[in-house]
Each structure stands twice: as structure tokens, then as C-alpha cells.
Structure 1
Amino acid sequence: MKRTFATALIPLLGSCLLAGGCTTVGPDFTPPPEPSAEAGYADDGGERVVLNEGPEGQWWKAFGSPQLDTFVSRALAGNHSLAASRATLVKARERIAAVAGRRLPQVDAQARGEYQRVNLAAFGFDGFSGQSISNPEFDLYTVGGGVSYDLDLFGKNRRALEQAAAQAEAQERATSAAHLVIAGRVVSQVLAIAALNDRIATERKLLSEDERNVSLTQARRNAGAGTLVEVLSAQGQLAGDGASLPSLEQQLAEGRAMLAVLLGISPGQLGPTDFGLDDFILPASVPVALPSALVHKRPDILEAEARLHAAVAGVGVATAELYPDITLGASITQSTSEPDRIADTKFNAFDVFAGLTAPIFHGGTLKANKRGAEAEARAAAAEYRQVVTEAFGQVSSLLSALESDTRELAARHEAAGIADRSLHLSRRSFQVGNSGILQVLDASRSYQRARLSLLETRIRQYQNVARLYVATAGGWDPKDMDDAPE
């Protein structure tokens, strides 16, 4: 009977290994539909924007600054948060291999040495002819091994592997998003440092203008046409304007420190950052991904889609838990009290088995797990839609900002030119005695405000272009992990 069972079991095991199971329960994942033809951005961004597949991977090179390229490369290689994210991705990929291993036959070996006493009375040996039998004591050495295989009749292991792969993909997309964000932050920080350098240079030029006003008032007073009040007014403006320089220099030091953190180094290792906005090229055109391309390009959208896939696979795992499972296996052992004869075939024993496990009553736990998995899948679907909605809104907002920046910059240039001419005429008028120093000081303040506003608009335009690149650019290529430092 036993031989008949074993003879039937071995072909069954082989056929199940080849078939890989019978069925897979639970819903199959379907990628979310692409945006409809009517979906689009609220603004086209004006002449500077070109709607197509979006920017290339190394989008920061559009600013034409080798120094910026170097900073971004150093950050992608040295940022500690990115190193942690890459290590987490390796862990997620290794989990795929771990879960995949469960679908294969499990083979184990064992060895055991023991000293034992056998209780013969427990087996009905109480003695013969009134003579008691003593329980023997002896050493026992055992070696053996076994193989087991889960038939995975309803696809629990297959769904678990699908879930692990989707989770690894989500982590890969999250790592891509992290690289994109870090690159964007480096570009933004470098531009901010450039703007601070320009702001400090502008403030120093304005201080030179203030010193010129002081010289004018002193010259008029020395000539007997001016007053001490005029001199003090000019000196007051010089002192007031000079008070802003320490704050700007402190902001520059903080900006350099932040850039060093992004690069994963100390501020002392950063090197010179004596560049200005004129050292960067404002791209004449910005390639922006169409909505239909954006959902296949932005890493945060792709991450949300992968998490949705993992949640749907989780429903399959929870559903399979409601169904029976069969495990097939066999084992062989060698046991003897004489270790030098452990390989003797007469001490051989084997076992061939098939086990069935079927859930009967678990207090509603398994059904609750399935309902919870379905709710998690619905939540992941809603989160995916939210990520897509926010992405479209972000791009629309930046396109609108880019168009506004172009119009505002033209107005600021005109205002700065008018303020410059007004200051020049006010000084001429003051020199010939046709106006007082207050008119000169008012014109000087207007000129300062116009120059600073022009600078602020320029940096905002550069920053918005960089943000638009980040908003529509693709992520980091995971193949670059081979070149990443450990």
C-alpha cells in the first residue's frame, strides 16, 4: 500500500512542478487609463515652451554651465539620502529573489547526535515471566534530508511574487524621484547663490551711488550752496543701505552650507562659488511633456502606479488564503548508535507524504484580511489619481508663472531704465541748484528698488524654468547604480 502511494505521489509531484500550480485567484492588475484627449494644461507657457515628450535626463545642462553640471554630478554621487535610497532599492530587489525562492522545492539537511533512554513500558513491554525489563540507554546519531513543495494551487506564492516585484518597482521609481528632486534642489541652490552674489554686487554698486550723493552734498556745502541737513540725509541713506550687506553675506554663507549638504560634503570642501546669473544661459525653449507622456515619465506618478499594482496583488494573496493548500514532500534519514556505520544502508528510513491544509474557522480573520486588502487597493487607486492631478496642476502653475515672468521681466527692465535716467537728471538738477537733495535721494531709492526688483524677477524666472524641468523630466536611470559609490 505504501509503495503504491509513493509510486503515485512522485509523478504527481513532477507534474505539479512542471505545471506550476493550477489557478491564480484574485484580480489581475490593469494599468490606469491614459489621460483623455481633452486633458491638458491650463496654460501653454507662451513662446518659450515646446510641448513634446519632455526634457532629456540631464536637463540641467540646458543652463550651459559646466560648474553647475559638476555640482549636480557630485550631488548624485555623494548625497547620503540618495545612497540610502539606492540601498533600499537593492533590498527590495533581493526580496523578489527571496519570495521567488518559495515557489521552488525546499530542500533541507539535518544532523543530530543525542544520548537517550527508551521507555519500553510506554510501548507495552512490561517484562516476561515476572522479570522486569530495564530501559536501555544509548547514543544515537542521525543524518538526513528532505524536500517539500507547495503546490500553490490558488496562486498565493505567485501573487506574493507579483506583489514583491511591484513593490521593488515602486522603490525604483521612488529612488528615481529622489535623484530628480536632489538634482532640482542643487540647481535651485546654485541659482540662489548666483542671485545672492548678484544681489551683493548690486548693493555695493548702490552704496557707490550713495557715496556719490554724499560727495555731491558735501561739495555743495563747501561751495556755500548746501546745508548740513542735506549732507546728513545723504549720509543716513548710505548708512542704512550699508546695513543690508551683512545679512546678504550671511544668507550667502547659509546657501553655501546648504549646497554642501546636498553634495554630502562639508562647506570647506565646496570650493569657490563666485558666479552670477550671467554665467548661466536661460534656455530659449523648454521642452515640456504632454499629459499623455507625463504619466509615463514622472517618477512619482510611476511610483504611485507601481504601489497600486502591489496593492492589487495583495488582494490576490489575501484571497488565496481562503482556499486549501497542498504540500508534497519526502525525507530520508540514517540513524545508528555507531557513528562509523552511519552510511550503512540497513540503517536507512524514508518518508513520502502529501499534506492538505484547509481553513475552516479563523474567527473571520481571513475574510477581514481580504476586505482590508481590497480597501488598500482602492486607497492606492485614489492616491494614484491624486498624484496625477497634482502633477498636472503643478505643471499648469509653472507654465503660467513662466509666461508671467516674461512679461514682468520686460516691465522691470523698462522701469530700471527710467529710474536710471531719473537719477541722472536729479543729480544734474541738484548740481546746478534747481532741486534739493530730497529729490536726489528719492530718485536714488527708486533706482535701488528698480534694480533689486529686476534682479528678483530674473532669479524667479531662472528658478521657475528649473522647476518646470523637474516637473516634467524623467528620473534617474537605475542602471547608474553600477557606477554609484558604496
Structure 2
Amino acid sequence: MNINSVTRRTGLFLTAAIFLTGCTVGPRYQPDRMKPPAKFTEDDHAATPEEIEETDRELKQWWHLFKDPELDRLVDKAIAGNYDLQAAGQHILAERAIRDVQASQWYPQLDADAGGGNVRYSINIENWPLRPGNPANHPDANYLTYGMAGSWQLDVFGRIRRSVEAQKYAVEATIEERRALMVMILSEVASDYMMLRDQQLRLEIANNNIHVAQDAYDLTNRLYLEGVGNTMQIAQAKAELDSQTAAREPLKTHISQITHALDVLMGQMPGTSEIELKVAKPLPKVPEFPAALPSIVLANRPDIRTAERQYAEATARIGMAVAQLYPNFSIPISFNPNASVMSQMTEAATMSWQFLMMASLPLMHGGKMTSQVRATQAAAEASRLNYRQTVLKGFREVEDAMAAWHDDEEHTELLAKAAEDSALASERARKLYAAGLVGFLEVLTTERTTLNAQNAEAMARLERLQDAINLYTALGAGWQGIALTNTTLPVSLEKQNILARAFQQ
């Protein structure tokens, strides 16, 4: 059989193998469709297409709905400087690089080598071609070699295609995880900012109550000097003043802690914005309830999108496991001339090469490969069920947030009216006490009631703002208007290896 015949048969074998490359084993991914209801149970409004479009536009940057420039500034700084967000961008780069590593298996793998030196062989071996002890033996030899060695994996049954597909879905899941982190950071910045303004409001209430307690203490002393009061009333007034003063200190501590948390979210040292943020400002107003909330907006939630991509990845990994049950085809290639002098390196007699078509078929592995298929099937089913559970969780969070938004509105209005009535009662009690018509106990009671009512109103206002933040977060809003960070490696590969400029290694 001559070399031409071998080459022709090898070529036919290779052509047939490449033709079979279109065969990809394993299940093809089919999204697990869960039909959502047309609307949420907590929202009976029938939305028009215009309202849906308006809501979609507003939710992309929902923090602007609070109309607070300081909040907008904090959000912008957090998006640009948060280190967790930057690290998530690097995770995307890493997953993309792993995908490229998987895809590299499609191409021939080729390496070049060269070498030379002196080689000495043992002559004290019976079967050596030159008998031991023969003075004609020359155990030393100059050795020069160069050549190339490579291999080409033929993806006949789609193992490589499935691995690239799985990694592609892994990249997309990582992107969604970064978007979920973005939603969480936006929520934390807005929540911390609202908490900061709430604590500043309570500090203002505490300062006002200290002034009221001081006035009551001064009044009690004056009445005592006029022969109207007694020392017990003075002691009660002093205790109330001390109590109100002490209640102010934890508020100062909490304000400092919140500013530190905001600084870390923005990627800067705690205390950097302390002076700027400690300037008291009123709580923002609660935005209007979104004009339309069709349930399809849950498709924006990054956690649902992540779960769906993870299910797709797990499905592709079934194909990888199934492909292991089928024959594996490869083409090993080598070209390796050897000689003792440089002038002989190009002669035909020095040439050594091989070009083969290799096939391997798994026969007996104790059930390992079929077990791997069952394991990937179970993992894929678990991913599908996790996706469904994530969808249910998303619906529940949106329904809960809408219920809280509607229920807390009336609750806040009633508490505001109670705080107003309590303040009026406290003022009248002080006047009646000054006129000697009521005792000091009535003054203390009305002042404490006023303090509790004012703090309850402040807490309710904070809860109303948090209701809005929770709804926007539950809807998965905020990441749509922000592009992924285009981060790059700090070291240029092209500058590290000259060959990288010519070859994609």
C-alpha cells in the first residue's frame, strides 16, 4: 500500500468525520414557560399601553422619582465607585475568558520545538547493535532536532459545542448576577439615605423636646419660688429634662454610622462625606404609585433571569455528559527531523512525521459515565424547579410591596393627625399648669404622648418611603438604564508576549 492510498483513505475518513460534526447529542434547551397573570392581585387598575410605556421609562431610573438631588448624587457615586460592583464586572470577564478556553478546543492545537546537544548511549547492553567492548563503538553523538507537534479534536458528537454553550449561559448568568447586585446597591443607597433623613428628623424632634423640657423645668422652678409648686415637681421636671437629653445621643451615633455605610457603598473611606451628609434636610416626598404594573415586568428581575440562565447551562451540561458515551475522534500530527549536523537537517532521510486519524470508544468504566448523565439530569431538573420557585418569590415580593404601599398611606395620615393633636394638648397642658389649674403630672403625660406621636409619625413616613423603594426593588428596576462596566485587564497580553501579536494563543 503506497502513501498516496493511505492519504486518500485518511482524507475520506476525515471528510466523513467532519460531515458528522453537525450531530450534537443531548437535549436542546427549551425555556420553562410560566404563564404570569395579566395583573397583580393588589393592583386592579387596567393599564393602557401608554401607561405601561411611561412606567417602563420611569422605573429605569426610579430614584429620580423622589426628586432629591442629593440622593441622585449618591446613586451616581455608588454606581461609579462601588468595589463590589467592579469585582462583579471582573467576574464577567473571567467567565468570558473561560468560554473562550472552551471554544479553543475547536481549533488545531500546535506547538513548535527545537533543541540540540550531545547524547551518550550505554554500550554495556547485550542487545545493543554494537557489542560491548568493541573499540569501534561510538557511544557519543551530536543531536539536533526541531519540529512541530499538534492535535485536532473533531467535535463529532458536540461535546465541545455543549461545553461552549454551557459556558455561554454561565456568562449570561454572571451578567444577571451583576445586575442583581446593582439593584441591591441602589436599594441600599436609597434606604440608607432615607434612614439618614429620618434620624435627622428625629434628632430635630429630640432637640425640640429638650427645649420643651427645659422650659417646663424653668417654669417649675419659677412657680416654686412663687410658692405655688413643690420640690417633687422640680425633681420630676429635672428627670424629664435629663431623659430627653439622653435620648438624643443614640440618634447622633446612628447618623454617623449611616454616613459611614453610605461612604462604603460609594467606594470611599468612612467619614469622607460625614460633614456633607450631616447637614439636615427634610425627608423626600413619596412618589406617586406607578401608573401601570403589568406582571410581565417581572422579566426584569435579575434573580429570575439568573435562574433561567442557570437552567439553560445545566441543560447544556447534560449534552456534555451524553457525548462522553460516544466515540471520540482526533488527529495527532507531528513533524520531527533529527540529525547530527546542521547541513543534514533538511535532507529527506532526517525527516520524521505522522498524520493519523485516531478514534476511541468507551467500553467499560463501571457505570461512571451513565452516572454522570443521571447527575446532570438531576441538576438540570433542580435548576428548573429553582427557576419556578424564584418566579413565585418574585411575585410574592411585588404583591407584598404593593400591599404595604397602599395600607401604610392611611396609617401615616392618621399618625400625622395624632402628632398634631398631641402637640396641641401638650401646649394647653403647660398653659393650664402655669395657671395652677392642673398638676405637673398632666404636663409630663402630654409631653411624652407628643414625643411618642411625633416619633411614630416619623417612622411611618420612613416606612412609606421604604415601601416605594421595596416596590422598585421587587420589580427588578434600576439596572436597565446603566451599561455594564467595560473593565479591562491591568496587563496587556500583547505587550507581554510578542507572539500574541501574530497568533491568538
TM-score, structure 1 length as denominator?
0.91
Change (3 A) 1:125 1:345: closer
| Residues 169-180 of structure 1: pairs in structure 2 closer than 5 A | 169-180=172-183
1:148 corresponds in structure 2 to 151
| CA–CA separation in structure 1 for the residues paired with 2:134 and 2:302 | 84
Correspondent of 1:471 among 471, 474, 477? 474
Does the residue aligned with 2:216 lie in a helix, a strand or coil? Answer: helix
Q: Which moved more, 1:220-229 or 1:314-323?
A: 220-229
Change (3 A) 1:485 1:176: farther
Contact 1:78 / 1:264 at 8 angstroms: preserved in 2?
Answer: yes
- Pairwise CA distance, 1:42: 4.1
Residues paired across the two proteins, number: 480
Q: Which string of whole-angstrom CA distances, capped at 9 and with x for unpartnered residues, describes residues 296-323 of structure 1?
A: 2111111111111111111110110111
| CA–CA separation in structure 2 for the residues paired with 1:53 and 1:372 | 41
Is 2:64 the counterpart of 1:65?
Answer: no
- The one-letter code matched in structure 1 to 2:9 is A
Contact 1:59 / 1:473 at 8 angstroms: preserved in 2?
Answer: no
Q: Which string of whole-angstrom CA distances, capped at 9 and with x for unpartnered residues, describes residues 240-278 of structure 1?
A: 111111111111111112112212211232251135563
1:441 corresponds in structure 2 to 444
| CA–CA separation in structure 2 for the residues paired with 1:6 and 1:159 | 31
1:365 corresponds in structure 2 to 368
- The one-letter code matched in structure 2 to 1:7 is R
Is 2:33 the counterpart of 1:33?
Answer: yes
- The one-letter code matched in structure 2 to 1:305 is E
| CA–CA separation in structure 2 for the residues paired with 1:475 and 1:447 | 39
- The one-letter code matched in structure 1 to 2:485 is M
Does the residue aligned with 2:258 lie in a helix, a strand or coil? Answer: helix
Is 2:407 the counterpart of 1:404?
Answer: yes
1:302 corresponds in structure 2 to 305
1:286 corresponds in structure 2 to 290
2:108 corresponds in structure 1 to 105
| Residues 370-449 of structure 1: pairs in structure 2 closer than 5 A | 370-449=373-452
Does the residue aligned with 2:325 lie in a helix, a strand or coil? Answer: coil
2:249 corresponds in structure 1 to 246
1:201 corresponds in structure 2 to 204
Contact 1:391 / 1:471 at 8 angstroms: preserved in 2?
Answer: yes
- Pairwise CA distance, 1:222: 2.8
Does the residue aligned with 2:335 lie in a helix, a strand or coil? Answer: strand
Does the residue aligned with 1:278 lie in a helix, a strand or coil? Answer: coil
- Pairwise CA distance, 1:72: 1.6
| CA–CA separation in structure 2 for the residues paired with 1:331 and 1:289 | 65
- Pairwise CA distance, 1:26: 0.7
| CA–CA separation in structure 1 for the residues paired with 2:32 and 2:92 | 24
1:6 corresponds in structure 2 to 7
Q: Which moved more, 1:259-268 or 1:473-482?
A: 473-482
- Pairwise CA distance, 1:425: 1.9
Does the residue aligned with 2:358 lie in a helix, a strand or coil? Answer: strand
Structural RMSD (CA): 2.8
| CA–CA separation in structure 2 for the residues paired with 1:246 and 1:20 | 77
Q: Which string of whole-angstrom CA distances, capped at 9 and with x for unpartnered residues, describes residues 42-65 of structure 1?
A: 422999xx8754853322122112
Q: Which one has more relative contact order, counting CA pairs under 8 Å at least 6 apart?
A: 1
2:496 corresponds in structure 1 to none
1:234 corresponds in structure 2 to 237
Contact 2:89 / 2:484 at 8 angstroms: preserved in 1?
Answer: no
- The one-letter code matched in structure 2 to 1:352 is F
Contact 1:297 / 1:475 at 8 angstroms: preserved in 2?
Answer: no
Q: Which string of whole-angstrom CA distances, capped at 9 and with x for unpartnered residues, describes residues 351-378 of structure 1?
A: 1100011100111111111111111111
Contact 1:119 / 1:135 at 8 angstroms: preserved in 2?
Answer: no
| CA–CA separation in structure 2 for the residues paired with 1:259 and 1:410 | 30
Does the residue aligned with 2:146 lie in a helix, a strand or coil? Answer: strand
Correspondent of 2:358 among 345, 351, 355? 355
Q: Which moved more, 1:200-209 or 1:345-354?
A: 345-354
Contact 2:173 / 2:307 at 8 angstroms: preserved in 1?
Answer: yes
- The one-letter code matched in structure 1 to 2:89 is R
| Residues 80-229 of structure 1: pairs in structure 2 closer than 5 A | 80-117=83-120, 125=129, 134=137, 136-229=139-232
Q: Which string of whole-angstrom CA distances, capped at 9 and with x for unpartnered residues, describes residues 404-424 of structure 1?
A: 210111111111121122112
- The one-letter code matched in structure 1 to 2:6 is F
| CA–CA separation in structure 2 for the residues paired with 1:443 and 1:262 | 42
1:267 corresponds in structure 2 to 270
- Pairwise CA distance, 1:287: 6.0
| CA–CA separation in structure 2 for the residues paired with 1:475 and 1:140 | 68
Change (3 A) 1:232 1:424: same
2:459 corresponds in structure 1 to 456
Q: Which moved more, 1:312-321 or 1:111-120?
A: 111-120
Contact 1:55 / 1:473 at 8 angstroms: preserved in 2?
Answer: no
Q: Which moved more, 1:334-343 or 1:193-202?
A: 334-343
2:329 corresponds in structure 1 to 326
- Pairwise CA distance, 1:99: 0.8
- The one-letter code matched in structure 2 to 1:9 is T
- The one-letter code matched in structure 2 to 1:455 is A
| CA–CA separation in structure 1 for the residues paired with 2:20 and 2:57 | 43
